[in-house]
Amino acid sequence: MHLPPLIPPASITPYLSCSGVINCTNAEIRTLARTITTSEIDDIERTRTLYTWVRDSIAHSVDAGQSDLMWNATDVLTAGHGLCFGKSHLFVALCRALGIPAGLCYQRVRCEDGSWVLHGLTAVYLEQLDKWIRLDPRGNKPGVSADFSLDMEKIAYEPSYDGEWLDQHVYPEPWQDITHLIDLSPGVPEFIENSGNIRIPPVNQVRVQGIKSICST
């Protein structure tokens, strides 16, 4: 399925900066980014390696049966698990640590029980191609198969139901509403239960119908 194209940001500068959540100046983050990409010859291969490492080496909190919320990049790295949002923060921090512009994307997904959740993923700018691409480091499992692709994006949940949306924008930092919900949520179950209530301006929304999606944010 061809996903709606990303809207390229006007400047890449914000997508290289570090913060309390995307703490790319952290020594552990910088060392890990360099260590696992030592054999790669360009940013495309470095991005592929970082993406695959986060997707496969950091567990998704739900899949791992973890209830503690891990939010910023270093906490996710230390704990070895995170929700889609936390894993996205870690991947973006690793990219930025190597000078690769990266940001955050969001989509609203309907679960099989009819409830709604917000899902977080990422986008990376590859200068060699002059192109932004979506990458979803959620972590694969039966029914979920995201992968690195330069041509046809392969995310965990392709929009399919009426009311689902996939935002076309790339954000340098997490949405404030999501950060606020993290502060209010005692653990993973509560955060997931309420995440589907988060809205974005309709101008940013793209609704696509057609293919069944399987849910676990």
* Residue 35 belongs to a domain: yes
**CATH no. for residue 66?**
3.10.620.30
Tell me what the mean pLDDT of segment 53-72 comes to: 97
* Residue 8 belongs to a domain: no
d(CA 15, CA 123): 10
Task: pLDDT band for 1, please (50, 70, 90 cuts).
Answer: low
d(CA 178, CA 182): 6
Q: What is the pLDDT of residue 82?
A: 98
Residue 154 tokens read as 């392969």
Longest CA span, the chain: 45
* Residue 70 belongs to a domain: yes
Q: What is the CA radius of gyration of the chain?
A: 16
* Residue 45 belongs to a domain: yes
pLDDT over 70, % of the chain: 91
Whether the full predicted model's pTM is greater than 0.95, yes or no, is: no
Q: What is the pLDDT of residue 204?
A: 55
DSSP alpha helix (H) spans, 58-210: 73-79, 84-97, 176-184, 188-195
d(CA 124, CA 28): 21
* Residue 114 belongs to a domain: yes
pLDDT over 90, % of the chain: 79
* Residue 156 belongs to a domain: yes
pLDDT, tens digit (0-9, with 9 covering 90-100), for 19-60: 999 999 999 999 999 999 999 999 999 999 999 999 999 999
Identify the H or E element spanning 105.
strand 102-110
d(CA 125, CA 147): 16
Domain residue limits at 41: 13-204
Checking if the pLDDT of 149 tops 70, the result is yes
* Residue 212 belongs to a domain: no
Q: What's the distance, CA 64 to chain centroid?
A: 18
pLDDT, tens digit (0-9, with 9 covering 90-100), for 90-130: 999 999 999 999 999 999 998 888 889 999 999 999 999 99
Q: What is the pLDDT of residue 201?
A: 52
Task: pLDDT band for 150, please (50, 70, 90 cuts).
Answer: very high
The total of structural domains in the chain comes to 1
* Residue 213 belongs to a domain: no
Tell me what the mean pLDDT of segment 147-152 comes to: 94
**Would you say 146 and 108 are in contact if contact means Cβ atoms under 8 Å apart?**
no
Task: pLDDT band for 160, please (50, 70, 90 cuts).
Answer: confident
Checking if the pLDDT of 206 tops 60, the result is no
